[in-house]
Amino acid sequence: MSDVGFLRLLTWLSPAFPTGGFAYSHGLEWAVEAGDITNGATLQCWLEDILFHGTGRSDAILLRHAHRAAWEKTALAEIAERAAAMAPSRERQMETLAQGAAFVIAAAPWCGEILAGLERPTYPVAIGALAGAAGIAEDATALGFLQAFAANLISAAVRLVPLGQTTGLAVLAALEPLILDVALATRTATLDDIGGAAFRADIAAMRHETQYTRLFRS
């Protein structure tokens, strides 16, 4: 990966990049209210399941295939449609589509024509396609995406539980081996391998839709 590609990846996955990720908790807000997440240890367990058995793994697969199909409009459109259709709840779909749409707008200065005309791009599909078009290594993109995904949920937990920043960073550090494992495991996965078993996390996302008091959109 070139130095320019590395800079772009850092920019696109930065918390400051305007995708609105700070507004979404991926159902974690309900998990905190239900008592599933109360400290760093329970947060780590929750995120391990999401990364290895849930959205983390599935999104990494989608990102990789979008990366490979960056210059193939038809194939990319099919991946985008599949990604949107496979969201397990209304809020999960809204989360990934809203972030995907925001990413397309914000990333327009970089190879914007790749994403132009792509209907309903989910967040991992948009990032994968743009990184592929920009010549950024697929493995680096997948690793960066998974780390940013985990970091965003930890940031939400720090505000919700609440947890200290030190505890949040300790959880992120502890997740590094798993993030590497998920990135490696998805390298040869096909679109037919997408699937999950993080049922409690999916239920949390569904319950969040009717949660009485909410700070996050999902």
Confidence band, pLDDT 50/70/90 cuts, at residue 143: very high
Q: Around Cβ 97, how many Cβ atoms within 10 Å?
A: 19
What Rg, from alpha-carbon coordinates, does the chain have? 16
How much is the mean pLDDT over the chain? 94
Distance (Å, rounded) from C-alpha 33 to C-alpha 200? 14
Assigned fold of 3-13+26-208: Urease accessory protein UreF (1.10.4190)
Confidence band, pLDDT 50/70/90 cuts, at residue 151: very high
Q: pTM for this structure?
A: 0.96
Q: Around Cβ 151, how many Cβ atoms within 10 Å?
A: 18
- Per-residue confidence (pLDDT) for residue 124, from 0 to 100: 97
- Per-residue confidence (pLDDT) for residue 2, from 0 to 100: 82
Instruction: Give mean pLDDT, residues 103-114.
Output: 85
User: Bigger pLDDT: 155 or 212?
Assistant: 155
Nearest to 154 by CA among 10, 48, 74: 48
Distance (Å, rounded) from C-alpha 32 to C-alpha 13? 26
- Per-residue confidence (pLDDT) for residue 1, from 0 to 100: 66
Task: Give residue-wise pLDDT tens across range 48-57.
Answer: 999 999 999 9
Amino acid identity, position 158: V
Task: Give residue-wise pLDDT tens across range 122-135.
Answer: 999 999 999 999 99
Task: Give residue-wise pLDDT tens across range 175-212.
Answer: 999 999 999 999 999 999 998 889 999 999 999 999 88
Task: Give residue-wise pLDDT tens across range 3-18.
Answer: 999 999 999 999 999 9
- Per-residue confidence (pLDDT) for residue 91, from 0 to 100: 94
Percent of the chain with pLDDT over 90: 88
| Domain regions of the chain by residue span | 3-13+26-208
- Per-residue confidence (pLDDT) for residue 213, from 0 to 100: 87
78, pLDDT greater than 70: yes
Instruction: Give mean pLDDT, residues 82-102.
Output: 94
Which residues, 6 or more positions from 188, have their beta carbon under 8 angstroms from its beta carbon? Answer: none
Six-digit token string for 136? 């950024």
Instruction: Give mean pLDDT, residues 108-121.
Output: 81
Distance (Å, rounded) from C-alpha 156 to C-alpha 24? 8
Least confident of 105-114, 169-178, 189-198: 105-114
Distance (Å, rounded) from C-alpha 163 to C-alpha 39? 7
